[in-house]
Structures are given as structure tokens and as C-alpha cells.
Amino acid sequence: MGQLFGTDGVRGVANADLTAELALGLSVAAAHVLAEAGTFAGHRATAVVGRDPRASGEFLEAAVVAGLASAGVDVLRVGVLPTPAVAYLTGALGADLGVMLSASHNAMPDNGIKFFARGGHKLADELEDRIEAVYEEHRTGAPWDRPTGSGVGRVSDYDEGFDKYVAHLIGVLPNRIEGLKIVLDEAHGAAARVSPEAFARAGAEIITIGAEPDGLNINDGCGSTHLELLKQAVVEHGADFGIAHDGDADRCLAVDATGAEIDGDQILAVLALAMREAGQLRGNTVVGTVMSNLGFKLAMEGEGIDVVQTGVGDRYVLESMKEHGYALGGEQSGHVIILDHATTGDGTLTGLMLAARVAATGRSLAELAGVMRRLPQVLINVPDVDKSRVTTSGELAAAVLDAERELGTTGRVLLRPSGTEPLVRVMVEAADIEQARAVAGRLADAVKSALG
């Protein structure tokens, strides 16, 4: 078998790649591995299990619950809730393990399984590797050691999870958001109930779209990957701004009153200034990735805030934050991590904090986001090349050096080999879009010539 765990759990087409048998087997393996690691030592283990509204989540949830209970783990089923809610409840309820069934922003046929360790933190890579190895070992014949009688896990519904999570969100807000009219696009996903409830309790007048999940319509032409409907609704309703989540609500993107998009970099910039003002921006630093817009870095430098850049992926952002004790980090895609209040990206929390800043300052979202100017960014994928030679080709290094000289301090070049395909991604930022396109085109030609 190929590697099951990717950067965000196990994901694939439900009932094809991700089957009930796989979900059950991985859950049993996770219980055994965590028991071996001492996580369950001296007490009866408990797991929190949640899902997004995908139709396939119904049978996959049943498989996960069966696997855990058969391994002697008591299960609290919290139903349809966002990924960050499951992470929060895992910590708040003192559970030993959390499991979320979701494929995030992917299309409906996909689904995924993500495990959380005690405290609601992502499982360490070595534990994921061990779970995969143990699963494979037992899949090919070795019998499980199974409890019987009173040793089997008990399963119960934890209906209080919804209110507990919403109360947490309201409890960490620095101020109320009365007087704001906000459109929420819930992507027909896991936050369809949570997000409107939280914004309403915080005092906003809300209009919701994409908030009627039927198991089949998640992320379908709506949410953070399709902002057209939100832009239209904000302008039509004369709203102050709009917020968009993805299917499992760990992302947040925004739209200002004119319908202009506010991306994750701009949201980070707004929140960084708010947190510094409140004395909460530890190390006077915000964490981004190598794909963060250069305009974000320049804006933060202009405000005297340091920027640390990691590899692409919110897991790398989180690792850097935890290692150095930073409080804020995120990605252009809208994964924003506010580590004092969440162990993962939390789209509802991010949207609430953004609204709180608008309410507290009396300034429009467009004005607040104007702290940074998003530089034009051109991305070209160059296929069918030897991506392993990106860092060793002298010809390519010379082409990159020429491009960097031309762009100076107001532009940037990034060449990245794809993690999954035989291609190289060429990214160029410049103050002028035409210059960015011209430089990116020349670099793409250089990649073909040097690595083709």
C-alpha cells in the first residue's frame, strides 16, 4: 500500500479509497498505538468523534465508532461540527483522542479521517506512521487483542458539544460586534449551525447563504473556494462585509462592502495589529509560509512586526508557532491559527475576531485590510521536468538570479517542486502584473530548458 497519511490526515474518494473497512481498521490501530504510547495509562480511554455533513460521513462515522468501541474506547459522538470544534472538545472534555471525518474544501465524493491527540493537538508524525504500520500488520492477518464483556467501549451522543463550543467562541472575543451587518457563507458544511449562532450571539445582524447542507451540496459553488455568491450577497444586502468558510470550517476568507476579496494574508495583517495593540502578539512575530504575499511581509516590516516563513501547509505554521511560542500564524488560503484560543485553524473564530476588530475601531474592513497592498502574483506550473534538480541546476540558478536582480526589493521569485506530481511551480511577485507575467514566463522557459 502507498502512504495513507498525508499532511492533513487520511483522505480519498469515500467508499473507493476511503472505505468502511479502512476507517474501522485505522481506528482500532489508533487505539492500540495510543495505548502502547501510554496515552491511556491508568484509566478507561475516551474519544470524541465528529464529522462534516457529507453523506459518506454517516457510514464512516459508524465505522470509526465501531472500531474504537471494539478496542475498549468509550466514544462521545458530537455529530456535525467543525474540525476546530472537535479539536476544542477533545481538549475541553479531557478526552484521550479526537477523530474528525471531513475532506475540508474537497468536493463531496471525497472524505477524510483526522486524528487529534489529547488536548486537541494534531497527532505527531511518528504516531501516524506507527498507526499506519500497525493497521497494515493486522490487515494482512495478525489478530487483534480484543476486550470482551465490560471491557468493550460504550457509545453515547454528546449533544452539549454545540453549545459548549459556541460559548467558548463568544467567551474569547475581546468585544461585542453589535451594529455590524454580516453575510456568512457556510459552504453547506460543518459550520452551517455553529457560525450563524456564534455571530448572532456576539451581537451581529447576519444573513446566511450556503447554510442548508443536505449531505451532497458541501462546497458546491459556495464557501471559501467559490466567493462569487458571497460577493454578490454582500453588495445586494448592503452588508458591512462577508465571511466564507470551507466544508469543515477551519478556513476563513472575507469580502469587503464593495465585494472585494480579503484573503488570509490580509486577515493575518489585520489581526496581527489588533493583537499587538492588546499585548498578545508574542515575540512581536506572525508566522506565514513561503507563499505568503510579499505585500504582507512588507506591510508587517513597515509596522515593525517580524514575519517568520515556513513551508506551505498549516501544519508547518503550527509547528513553528508551538516551537517558538508565537501566538498568530496562517496561510493565504484562510487557515488562521490563534494559538491562545485554538489548536488548529478555526474559521469561525477568525471571522469573529475580524468582526471584533471592525467593531472596536469603527473602521471598515477595506480600510483595515489596506494596511497591506497585495502584490500581483503569477503562478505557472511546468510539467514533465526533473523536479529533483531544481536546487542543483546551475543554468536555472543563473536564470533565477537574473530575475531577482530585475525585480529588486519590490518583487520575489519562488521555485517549488510539486510534492505529488512531476512538475515545478514557478511563482513570481512584482509591483506590476505585466512585469510579473513576463518574468514568470521567462523562468518557466528556463525550467523547461534546464530540467526538461
- Where along the chain do its domains lie? 5-161, 170-369, 377-451
271-319 pLDDT per residue, tens: 999 999 999 999 999 999 988 999 999 999 999 999 999 988 888 999 9
Which residues, 6+ apart, have CB-to-CB distance to 342 below 8 Å?
A: 84, 87, 88, 349
Say what the pLDDT of residue 147 is.
95
Average pLDDT, the chain: 94
Binding residues: 104, 246, 248, 250
List for the chain the helix, strand, coil content (%; round to 5).
Answer: 40, 20, 35
Look up residue 151 and give its DSSP letter: G
Q: What would you report as the CA-atom Rg of the chain, rounded to the nearest whole angstrom?
A: 23
**pLDDT above 60 (res 33):** yes
Same fold, 5-161 and 170-369: yes
Domain spanning 5-161, CATH architecture: 3-Layer(aba) Sandwich (3.40)
User: Cα–Cα distances in Å, from 253 out to 166, 221, 237, 325, 390?
Assistant: 20, 15, 19, 25, 33
Please, what CATH class does the domain formed by 377-451 belong to?
alpha beta
The average pLDDT across 12-19 equals 96
Helices and strands counted in the chain (H then E): 14, 19
Residue 400 has what pLDDT? Answer: 93
At a CB cut-off of 8 Å and minimum separation 6, what does 316 contact?
289, 310
Average pLDDT over every residue of 101-105: 95
Is residue 404 pLDDT above 50, yes or no? yes
What is the pLDDT, as a whole number, of residue 2?
53
Q: Which ranges constitute the DSSP H helices of 239-304?
A: 264-277, 294-302
pLDDT of residue 313: 82
The residue among 117, 118, 28, 110 whose CA lies nearest residue 73 is: 28
> What does the pLDDT average to over 192-210?
98
**Domain 170-369, CATH 3.40.120.10 — does that match?**
yes
Write out pLDDT tens, residues 73-101.
999 999 999 999 999 999 999 999 999 99
Report which of 295, 188, 168, 197 is spatially closest to residue 244, judged by C-alpha positions: 188
Binding residues for Mg(2+): 104, 246, 248, 250
- Residues assigned a catalytic role: 104
* Residue 413 DSSP symbol: E
pLDDT (mean) for 103-128: 94
User: What pLDDT, in 10s, does the model give residues 233-252?
Assistant: 999 999 999 999 999 999 99
pLDDT band at 1 (very low <50, low <70, confident <90, very high): very low
Residue 388: pLDDT over 90:
no
Does 421 have pLDDT greater than 80?
no
